[in-house]
A and B are shown apart, each in its own frame.
Chain A
Amino acid sequence: MSWKIKYLKKSPWVFHVNVGACNNCDIEIVNCLTPKFDVERLGIKLVGSPRHADALLVTGVGTRQAVPRLKEVYRQASKPCVVFLIGACPCGTGIFSNGYHVEGPVDKLIKEEDPNAIIAYVPGCPPKPEAIISGVVKALEAI
């Protein structure tokens, strides 16, 4: 196993991207950092730039305006990079499928950029912090 993957599995640094979400999932992600769940003790850290990230946490349906930004963020993220789709919106647009401004689902957009992208799905509306942590851990074990 390359050392990059090894460190990704041990202590993933994540970058959070919102491409058109209602913010519930975003708030639950930040809840993971607060004292009740405290993921920093597990080595998971939120970073300020995709270049430092091992994983992307993507929330939101993928609105038309946000699509170029999402692809740019993915390009800038250092590879290998795991894309976690948090919430029902990026997993499959759900109730917003008929929206005229919605270009998702996000896995389709990421695959347009990189057909071999590693994508993990954490559904929920919003997924509880326990679910997010569990989803991230399961996905990392499977890599």
Chain B
Amino acid sequence: METSRRTFLGTVSAAAASSPGPGDDPGHEHQDVPSEPALRVKTLESLLVEKGIVDPAALDAIVDYFEHKVGPRDGARVVARAWVDPEFKQLLLTDAPTAIAKLGYSSVRGEHLRVVENTSKVHNLVVCTLCSCYPWALLGLPPVWYKSNAYRSRAVIDPRGMLQELGCTIPENVEVHVWDSTAELRYLVLPERPAGTEGLREEELAAMVSRDAMIGVAKIGLPAQEGPK
């Protein structure tokens, strides 16, 4: 282990020293000059392509997949279906992989997914304190705040205080259930359907469901939250 640490210092410290600051700052500035990490990654990519370890077309496909093919709209579709179809909702809560397969999401994509339901008595919150585990099969890659030291450390010890700062105050009589993704289960929150939406179609409902609500840091219908992209 000591050897590993020394070698890390040799390889990484230069990159780290020139990086702009803690990785938890979501406000990355746009840079016209390639940053040090950009050059290092470019160098690594050309080496691995040259050695036949990776295919650049596969890299393009992976980036394209996560930028365009998967995202919170997938999760929102699942939530909206659960709101309008009680049978689907029941299946989603007991066997999420089978349920989402009915919407065309392959069982592989939904493997080990678990959906937990918000009610008038329970509010759920999802975190990964050890790394960045996230229900990416339905939400895509996690946002910076989800991977931040601040969120990972605080979500388990002070969920109510943290949620309040994020504008999501949980009433005293509601239980907060935090789900720390320590194994291969991936958690998605089924938010409460807002009152007054009885007349909306499934697609309209899906448009209301935000990524943040499916992680448990926002309620549906409150301002200052993003809709699915």
A-B interaction = no
